[in-house]
Structure 1
Amino acid sequence: MISFYILIFLEWTGFLTGLFFLRKGDRDAALIVAFLACVVIAETSVYFARIFMHPDIIVRFTNIWYNCMLPVQCVCLLLFFYRKTRLGYWKHAIKGFISIVLFITLLQFFAGDPYQFNTFNYTLEAIFISACSLHYLFELMNSEEIEEVTRDPFMYVSIGLLLFYLGTLPYNITKFYLFGTYRGLFYIYYYLFFAFNYFLYGIITFGFLWAKKK
């Protein structure tokens, strides 16, 4: 539980930092803050659910809750990358990513089992966000503002997202299998999962603070 408390603290720190430095009319930063808001709402709700809900229904609740909240988080990030890219073909690609995520989400709720964690959709979300993060960094490094790159808080956000989704994707795909078959390996990945989370929200907070300092 200590690991979870640290994670909640870092998530709220990142959200409040972004909210504090959010300037009026800054739609790019607003989308990142919206992503962080979805994160703290999702994780804080799960925290209280574990306290007050009966153990028999907590797994069903968390699965359906994450099946709702993770696509919302993903769409916030994809819309952010849509606004940041200058390339027309990539804008069309991101529209396609959003359409796929929403379609699979709705398909599970209407034709599948919403109480089962949608591993396939999460895998696609992780791939899409990783691709967008890498593409943004590529565009940034090849832009005329390369000398000002360290002042861009979204560079730190993109690095954090890229490492987080690439690093945690194997865990989220195999965690149920590993838990039942290779318990020792599961716990190694489990703590690595928290480490990647700490890095993500830590570097997002640093990015906002460093950009403000500059």
Structure 2
Amino acid sequence: MTFFYILIVLEWAGFLTGLFFLRKGGRSGTLIVGFLTSVVIAETAVYFARIFLHPDVLINFTNLWYNCMLPVQCTFLLLFFYRKTGLAYWKHAIQGFISMVLFITLLQFFVSDVNRFNIFNYTLEAIFISACSLHYLFELMNSEEIEEVTRDPFMYVSIGLLLFYLGTLPYNITKFYLFDTYPRLFYIYYYLFFAFNYFLYGIIIFGFLWAKKK
């Protein structure tokens, strides 16, 4: 639980930092704050669920809760990248990404077990966000404001998201299998999962604070 406590603290620190330092960030900043808000709501709810719910009930609750909240987080991020890109074809692509995520989320409630973690949808979300992060960094490096790139807080957000989703995707799609068959390997991935989380919110906080100095 110690790793989880540290993660909760970092998530709240990232949320509060974003709330105070991105007030003048326009709609793009608002979308990042919306993402961080959904993160702290999701994880804080799971924190209290771990305290008050029976372990058998907890599994179903967390799976259902994440099946609902992860698409919300993904939508905030995709809308952020939609706002930041100046390329029409990429805007259309992001619209397609959002439609697919929401469609698969709704589909699970009608044709599948909502109490099972939707690995397929999470995989798509990770791929879409990674692609958007990489594309944003590409656009940033080729912009006329390249000299100010290190002062762009959203660059740090994109780097953190890219490494987080690429780094944790193998864990999230194989954790149940690894836990049953290769527990030692599972715990290696488990600790790496928290390390990537710490890196994500750490670099987001750094980006907010660093950009504030310009």
With normalisation by structure 2, the TM-score equals 0.99
d(CA) in 2 for partners of 1:175, 1:138: 32
Q: Residue 22 of structure 2 contacts residue 208 of structure 2 at CA under 8 Å; is this kept in 1? A: no
- 1:122 counterpart = 2:119: no
The residue identity in structure 2 corresponding to 1:171 is Y
d(CA) in 1 for partners of 2:183, 2:71: 29
**Paired position in structure 1 for 2:175:** 175
d(CA) in 1 for partners of 2:31, 2:168: 22
**Equivalent residue pairs, number:** 214
**Paired position in structure 2 for 1:81:** 81
RMSD (Å) for aligned C-alpha atoms = 0.7
Q: Secondary structure at the match of 2:144?
A: coil
d(CA) in 1 for partners of 2:153, 2:109: 36
Structure 2 unaligned runs (5+)?
none
1:89-168 counterparts in 2 under 5 A? 89-168=89-168
- 1:58 counterpart = 2:58: yes
d(CA) in 1 for partners of 2:17, 2:25: 17
d(CA) in 1 for partners of 2:145, 2:63: 43
d(CA) in 2 for partners of 1:134, 1:32: 17
Q: Residue 171 of structure 2 contacts residue 189 of structure 2 at CA under 8 Å; is this kept in 1? A: yes
**Paired position in structure 1 for 2:47:** 47
- 1:71 counterpart = 2:88: no
The residue identity in structure 2 corresponding to 1:101 is V
d(CA) in 2 for partners of 1:164, 1:100: 21
d(CA) in 2 for partners of 1:22, 1:92: 27
Deviation at 1:23, TM superposition (A): 2.1
Provide Cα deviations, 1:61-96, integer angstroms capped at 9, x if missing partner. 000000000000000000000000000000000000
With normalisation by structure 1, the TM-score equals 0.99
State percent identity of aligned pairs: 84
**Paired position in structure 1 for 2:31:** 31
Structure 1 unaligned runs (5+)?
none
d(CA) in 1 for partners of 2:179, 2:52: 25
Tell me which stretches of 4 or more aligned residues in structure 1 moved more than 4 Å: none
